[in-house]
Amino acid sequence: MKILPRELVLDYDRWICGKPHIADNLRNEQCRKNNKDNFLGEGSTKLLNEKGYQCCLGQFVEQAGISKEDMLGLGTPSDFVLRSKGDCSNVVKSFAKVFDNWRWTVNTSLAEDAISINDDRNTTVREKTKELKELFSTYGYKIKFVNFPKHLKVR
């Protein structure tokens, strides 16, 4: 199993957040236009999506040593088991729990809470940043945020 570093970096230039998981693309685009401060990135919300964007957990698991190739298209850390057919060497201990002699995993509370914050389309990027920082600090992690978007800076 991979171990997560205690100091993490979240890069706004690569972050996808606030994207609803709804099939209705017109509704998604209208939602994005009306709440542009709530969204970053393009494509679907994944650990690493087809356009090169990563959710917060995607960026963090990469820092634990997971390759982009291994996370491409996966939705959550526990999805590694499905892809790897039981080889959990790439499961990040802080984000997934392994059961039944490596046959299945579930996301940890930390991972589930981070997913909820990351994907919430009703909170601004600033609020997500604050909530993620608070969440991870309760587990003993620090997050450094880099490349804050100019359109979101204090006016």
Residue 18 lies in a domain: yes
Instruction: Kindly state the DSSP code that residue 19 receives in the 8-state scheme.
Output: -
The reported pTM is 0.87
The answer to whether the CB of 147 falls within 8 A of the CB of 53 is: no
Asked, for residue 2, whether it belongs to a domain, the answer is no
Compute how many other C-beta atoms are within 10 angstroms of the C-beta atom of residue 39.
Answer: 19
Q: Quick check: is 56 in a domain?
A: yes
Tell how strand 7-11 and strand 142-146 pair up: parallel
Domain span at residue 93?
A: 7-149
CA distances from 45 to 120, 140, 145, 148, 150 (A): 11, 26, 19, 19, 22
- pLDDT one-digit tens code per residue, 26-59: 455 655 566 678 889 998 899 999 999 999 999 9
* pLDDT tens per residue, range 87-107: 677 778 899 888 876 667 889
Task: Write the CB contacts of 120 (distance below 8 Å, at least 6 apart in sequence).
Answer: 18, 38, 128
Phi, psi of 42 (to 5 degrees): -130, 150
Q: Which residue has the tokens 């972050």?
A: 15
Question: Is position 154 within any domain?
Answer: no
Quote the number of domains for the chain: 1
pLDDT digits (tens, 9 = 90+) for 104-125: 788 999 999 999 999 998 899 9
Closest by CA to 77, choosing from 66, 16, 29, is: 66
